[in-house]
């Protein structure tokens, strides 16, 4: 399982548990909170009505006095109220009064007049001077039919409790407010959870992107590919810079070791030839032999110098990870400069270079010096294999979003076994007409320059004989 997925799942679990806990707490607190507020209101109402009913109760006319008439008249009043979007047209209160024994002497609903309520908590506790309240279901078969009852004492002139007045209100009347509050809490909880999950998803994606870029960079470096350091931020940027520094130091050490070993291997053959010629030159010999061995020493020393120069040029491009400041390069001018650079060699072999450059070629972003050197290497390679007095064809045109450069000769071509290896360092084929092998560094240099420009290099046999070297370089 990817680390980003593990982070997201862990974050999701924490957010889900927190959201569930908060939702349960909020929802669980909504209903008690609303009922507590209603009970507080009922306490005030009960005590107010108890004061208003005291005169009629002490006078013995609680069932038909002014208080009773006004309470009964309340049932016919149209309130015409709208409370936070919910209409309220009539009273939901029920008021009943008991005497000191707990017998109901007045009931606004008229249903329980004369009944004994002394065992109900609201009456029982109030008649004993304590706070009396209860919540009881009207129907044992309907758990949502509960009614809250709050009682207040009725006192005589001496302050003795002579009765109780209870105000009852169905809990069902506040159910819409509770349901709406729960919906609001759950709705906003869902929004917050969704936002938290979205943030977690974005954070996991960002972490995955940062780690993925660094992982791909490390894999590319391990595979020996040319890979730029990915853009990162924060600790990931520091980690990337540390990896880049480690790569540069390790590559520098390994690069030097590899090139020292390669250079020593390549120098053995010309040094042995020079040593042998020098030993022979120390012995008496004819003037013709002396000139021949002296020429051999010069040839081998020039070969060593060329090998060192090409090796240094190849090392320069291999060690570069990218073009720091690419500039627009005129392809036609780069080709003409490469041909001019090889002019003496081409004239020596009587080779004709025919260049066909498309008129609509846009400037190529890159390094003009490296591109000219790569083209010169391809022309030099074609001059080595092209028969004396033949023609070398150079073409430059567009192929989609790429610039295509082709240099073709009419030489013997490349053997099938050698085609996969022509871009290997120090791999070289014998030249026609008994010419000596090259250093085997020209085509690897071309391949490195192409890769540095984001393109590719290839070599294939030409129909009718010869070989075609091709460079494909992106214009973007």
Average pLDDT of span 255-267 = 53
Residues of the chain with CATH 1.10.287.130: 244-322
Q: 32 CB contacts (<8 Å, ≥6 apart)?
A: none
Return the higher-pLDDT residue of 421 and 216: 421
Check the CA dihedral 270-276-282-283 and report its sign: negative
Report pLDDT digits (tens) over 387-399: 888 888 989 888 8
d(Cα 277, Cα 80) in Å, to the nearest integer?
Answer: 124
- What pLDDT was estimated at residue 251? 53
d(Cα 48, Cα 332) in Å, to the nearest integer?
Answer: 105
Q: How far is CA 230 from the centre of its chain?
A: 14
- What pLDDT was estimated at residue 56? 92
Classified by CATH at the fold level, domain 325-476 comes out as Heat Shock Protein 90 (3.30.565)
CB 108, CB 91: distance < 8 Å = no
What is the chain's Cα-based Rg?
Answer: 50
- What pLDDT was estimated at residue 269? 58
Q: 214 CB contacts (<8 Å, ≥6 apart)?
A: 230, 232, 236, 239, 240, 243
- Burial environment of residue 46 by CB neighbours within 10 A (0 to 12, 13 to 18, 19 or more): buried
- What pLDDT was estimated at residue 102? 93
Average pLDDT of span 365-375 = 82
Average pLDDT of span 441-453 = 80
Return the higher-pLDDT residue of 253 and 431: 431
- What pLDDT was estimated at residue 122? 93
Q: Which 3 state secondary structure label does DSSP give 358? A: coil
d(Cα 331, Cα 329) in Å, to the nearest integer?
Answer: 6
Report pLDDT digits (tens) over 290-349: 777 677 677 667 666 656 665 565 555 555 556 667 788 888 888 888 888 888 888 888
Band (2; pLDDT cuts 50, 70, 90): low
Average pLDDT of span 64-69 = 90
Residue 224 has pLDDT above 80, yes or no: no
Residues of the chain with CATH 3.30.565.10: 325-476
* pTM of the predicted model as reported, rounded to 2 decimal places: 0.44
**Which of the residue ranges 107-121, 349-363, 432-446 would you say has the lowest mean pLDDT?**
432-446
d(Cα 17, Cα 11) in Å, to the nearest integer?
Answer: 10
Residues of the chain with CATH 3.30.450.20: 23-180
Q: Smallest Cα–Cα separation from 180: which of 25, 31, 40, 18?
A: 31
Task: Give how far Cα 432 sits from Cα of 415, 424, 458, 470, Å.
Answer: 13, 20, 21, 22
Average pLDDT of span 350-357 = 87
Classified by CATH at the fold level, domain 23-180 comes out as Beta-Lactamase (3.30.450)
d(Cα 28, Cα 340) in Å, to the nearest integer?
Answer: 90
Return the higher-pLDDT residue of 5 and 168: 168
Residue 149 has pLDDT above 90, yes or no: yes
Band (252; pLDDT cuts 50, 70, 90): very low
Q: Which 3 state secondary structure label does DSSP give 106? A: strand
Q: What percent of the chain has pLDDT over 90?
A: 16
Give bridge partners of residue 86 from the DSSP assignment: 83
Return the higher-pLDDT residue of 146 and 121: 121
CB 162, CB 100: distance < 8 Å = yes
What is the pLDDT of the chain when averaged over all its residues?
Answer: 78
Classified by CATH at the fold level, domain 244-322 comes out as Helix Hairpins (1.10.287)
Residue 201 has pLDDT above 70, yes or no: yes
Residue 250 has pLDDT above 60, yes or no: no
- What pLDDT was estimated at residue 8? 66
d(Cα 452, Cα 225) in Å, to the nearest integer?
Answer: 11
Average pLDDT of span 48-54 = 93
Average pLDDT of span 91-102 = 90
Return the higher-pLDDT residue of 16 and 28: 16
């Amino acid at each position: 399982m990817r680390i980003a997925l593990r982070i997201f799942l862990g974050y999701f679990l924490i957010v889900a548990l927190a959201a569930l806990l908060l939702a349960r707490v909020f929802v669980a607190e909504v209903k008690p909170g609303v009922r507590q507020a209603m009970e507080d209101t009922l306490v005030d109402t009960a005590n107010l009505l108890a004061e208003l009913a005291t005169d009629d109760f002490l006078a013995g006319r609680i069932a038909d006095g002014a208080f009773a008439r006004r309470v009964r008249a309340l049932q016919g009043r149209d309130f015409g109220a709208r409370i936070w979007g919910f209409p309220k047209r009539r009273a939901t209160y029920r008021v009943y009064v008991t005497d000191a024994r707990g017998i109901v002497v007045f009931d606004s609903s008229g249903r329980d007049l004369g009944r004994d309520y002394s065992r109900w908590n609201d009456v029982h506790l109030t008649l004993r001077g304590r706070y009396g309240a209860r919540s009881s279901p009207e129907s044992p078969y309907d758990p949502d039919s509960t009614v809250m009852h709050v009682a207040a004492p009725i006192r005589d002139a001496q302050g003795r409790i002579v009765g109780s007045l209870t105000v009852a209100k169905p809990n069902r009347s506040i159910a819409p407010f509770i349901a709406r509050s729960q919906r609001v809490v759950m709705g906003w909880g869902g929004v917050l959870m969704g936002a938290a999950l979205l943030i977690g998803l974005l954070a996991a994606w960002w972490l995955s992107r940062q780690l993925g870029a660094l992982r791909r960079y490390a894999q590319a470096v391990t595979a020996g590919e040319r890979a730029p350091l990915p853009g990162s931020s924060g600790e990931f940027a520091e980690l990337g810079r540390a990896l880049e520094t480690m790569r540069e130091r390790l590559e520098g050490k390994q690069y030097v070791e590899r090139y020292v070993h390669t250079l020593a291997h390549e120098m053995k053959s010309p040094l042995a030839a020079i040593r042998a010629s020098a030993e022979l030159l120390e012995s008496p010999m004819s003037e013709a032999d002396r000139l021949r061995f002296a020429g051999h020493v010069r040839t081998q020393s020039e070969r060593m110098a060329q090998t060192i120069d090409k090796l240094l040029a190849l090392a320069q491009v291999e060690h570069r990870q990218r073009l720091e400041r690419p500039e627009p390069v005129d392809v036609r001018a780069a080709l003409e400069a490469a041909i001019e650079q090889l002019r003496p060699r081409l004239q020596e072999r009587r080779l004709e270079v025919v260049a066909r450059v498309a008129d609509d070629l846009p400037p190529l972003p890159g390094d003009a010096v490296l591109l000219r050197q790569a083209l010169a290497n391809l022309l030099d390679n074609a001059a080595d294999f092209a028969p004396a007095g033949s023609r070398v064809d150079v073409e430059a045109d567009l192929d989609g979003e790429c610039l295509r450069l082709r240099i073709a000769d009419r030489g013997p071509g490349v053997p099938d076994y050698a085609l996969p290896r022509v871009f290997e360092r120090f791999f070289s084929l014998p030249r026609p007409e008994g010419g000596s092998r090259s250093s085997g560094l020209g085509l690897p240099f071309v391949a490195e320059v192409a890769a540095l420009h984001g393109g590719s290099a290839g070599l294939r046999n030409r129909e009718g004989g010869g070989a075609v070297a091709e460079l494909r370089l992106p214009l973007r």
